[in-house]
């Protein structure tokens, strides 16, 4: 089982915003590296950065889940539904969890409803105030905090549903 865990923990997935300019690499849980095409950061508005970041993070998460399923299948690990009623309750309630993470300065907030709908909020003026490096660090901090919040809520949900 350790090789399965190792494979899942070291998986890296990549994505770019459909409009270009913003790219990402993720290694879960919670490690996201954002980069910008040369000259892009500082040339697009805060709202456009929000939109493109949300797209990149959504794509990264989707690709990570796909890769994780493939690795699990490769190792022959499949979910066993011992209690389909409680499993359905768990999945439905998990999809309603709203997890949030924010940067230390509060300028970047990342949220996810369930595991499918991601949102990024960048405070007005952030692109003018923060360097690209500081902005990327703020995004990573916000995502790490979101993942921790989500993991905590899922663990509590498992205790309520299966405990």
What is residue 154's predicted lDDT score, i.e. its pLDDT? 93
Domains and CATH numbers, the chain: 4-162 (3.30.1310.10)
Spatial distance between the Cα atoms of 69 and 77, rounded to a whole number of angstroms:
9
| H helix or E strand, kind and range, residue 155 | helix 132-162
Q: Among the ranges 6-10, 23-27, 132-136, which has the highest mean pLDDT value?
A: 132-136
Residue 138 has pLDDT above 80, yes or no: yes
**What average pLDDT does the structure give for the chain?**
89
The tens digit of pLDDT for each residue in 40-88 reads 999 999 999 999 999 999 999 889 888 888 887 888 776 666 788 998 9
The DSSP result for 3-27, as a single string, is HHHHHHHH--EEEE-TTSSEEEEEE
């Amino acid at each position: 089982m350790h090789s399965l865990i190792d494979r899942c923990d070291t998986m890296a997935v990549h994505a770019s915003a459909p409009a270009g300019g913003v790219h990402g690499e993720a290694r879960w849980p919670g490690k996201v590296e954002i980069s910008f095409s040369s000259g892009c950061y500082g040339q697009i508005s805060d709202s456009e950065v929000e939109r493109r970041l949300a797209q990149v993070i959504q794509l990264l998460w989707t690709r990570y889940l796909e890769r994780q399923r493939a690795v699990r299948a490769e190792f022959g690990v499949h979910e066993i539904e011992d209690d389909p009623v409680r499993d359905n309750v768990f999945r439905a309630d998990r999809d309603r969890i709203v997890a949030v993470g924010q940067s230390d300065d509060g300028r970047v907030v990342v949220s996810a409803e369930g595991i499918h709908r991601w949102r990024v909020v960048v405070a007005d003026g952030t692109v003018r105030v923060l360097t690209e490096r500081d902005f990327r660090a703020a995004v990573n901090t916000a995502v790490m905090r979101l993942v921790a919040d989500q993991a905590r809520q899922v663990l509590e949900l498992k205790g309520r549903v299966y405990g």
